[in-house]
Amino acid sequence: MKKIILSLLFCCIGFTCHVIAQNSKTVSILGDSYSTFQGYMQPDTNIVWYFDPAKTINTDVTHVRQTWWHQFIKKNGYRLCMNNSYSGATICNSGYKKGNPDYTDYTHRSFVTRMNNLGCPDIIFIFGGTNDAWAGSPIGEYKYEGWTQKDLFSFRPAMAKMLSFMIDRYPNVEIYFILNDGLQEEINESVKTICEYYQVPCIVLTGIDKSHGHPTIKGMTQICEQVESFIANQ
């Protein structure tokens, strides 16, 4: 009888754990270097800023558990669906000039190229715009339909195209845009305006601690805390 009771108990525990796992929300990230960590990107060919082992000359972040997204997922009992982040990625298809008179074609790594590859999550964080600002990518005009391929080489139409696509591609998914601090006002205003148009909540970061322009361990924790606070107070 004891064996039967123990067997039933283990079955119940196993079933409960399975249900809890099934009910845990999953998170995907569409990002740039701030959200990378070697060995955790999909696809794994994406270029990263945060390495394992770490390049400590650039950062004090040495473990994936220190990243903002891993902290957020762990603290809230969520699961990682996909992290499709790519170091240096711009939202639009125009990247850094790299000494050339024209912008480098970043179509292979841009957000508008990668936005269709995020799995089937419950929550999506889009953390971008930093490289568009740093690269001085063309800002373009506000445009909310009828985008051409040429339009996608400018920030505003590419940002609008991305959000328009994603709210249809991922229905019933919580989508948030995370806006870095310290960017040009033109980028900040553009992000807020386009997010408001598509009713995508915009999490505006403040006072993030950085080294070489990238979040430190302290900065990663600050991002996690500010994301949590925003969501809790919606």
pLDDT per residue as tens digits for the range 180-195? 999 999 999 999 999 9
Per-residue pLDDT band at 234 (split at 50, 70, 90): confident
Is the confidence at residue 230, as pLDDT, over 50? yes
Mean pLDDT of the chain: 91
Rounded to whole angstroms, how far apart are CA atoms 21 and 79?
9
- Strands of 70-137 (E only): list them: 79-85, 123-127
**Proportion of the chain above pLDDT 90, given as a percent:** 84
Would you say 154 and 92 are in contact if contact means Cβ atoms under 8 Å apart? yes
How is the chain split into domains, by residue range? Answer: 26-232
ω before 53 within 30° of 0 (cis)? yes
Rounded to whole angstroms, how far apart are CA atoms 168 and 224?
27
At residue 12, the pLDDT reads 44
CA dihedral 56→60→63→64, nearest 10 degrees, is -110
CA distances from residue 229 to 63, 157, 191, 234 in whole angstroms, order as listed? 24, 30, 20, 9
Residue in this structure with the two tokens 């040009």, named with its chain if needed: 184
Tell me the three state secondary structure of residue 217. Answer: helix
Is the confidence at residue 196, as pLDDT, over 70? yes
| Fold exhibited by the domain 26-232 | Rossmann fold (3.40.50)
Is the confidence at residue 165, as pLDDT, over 70? yes
Is the confidence at residue 2, as pLDDT, over 60? no
Tens digits of residue pLDDT in 44-76: 999 999 999 888 788 999 999 999 999 999 999
**Proportion of the chain above pLDDT 70, given as a percent:** 89
Using only C-alpha atoms, the chain has a radius of gyration, in whole angstroms, of: 20
Per-residue pLDDT band at 221 (split at 50, 70, 90): very high
pTM over 0.75: yes
At residue 5, the pLDDT reads 47
At residue 22, the pLDDT reads 55
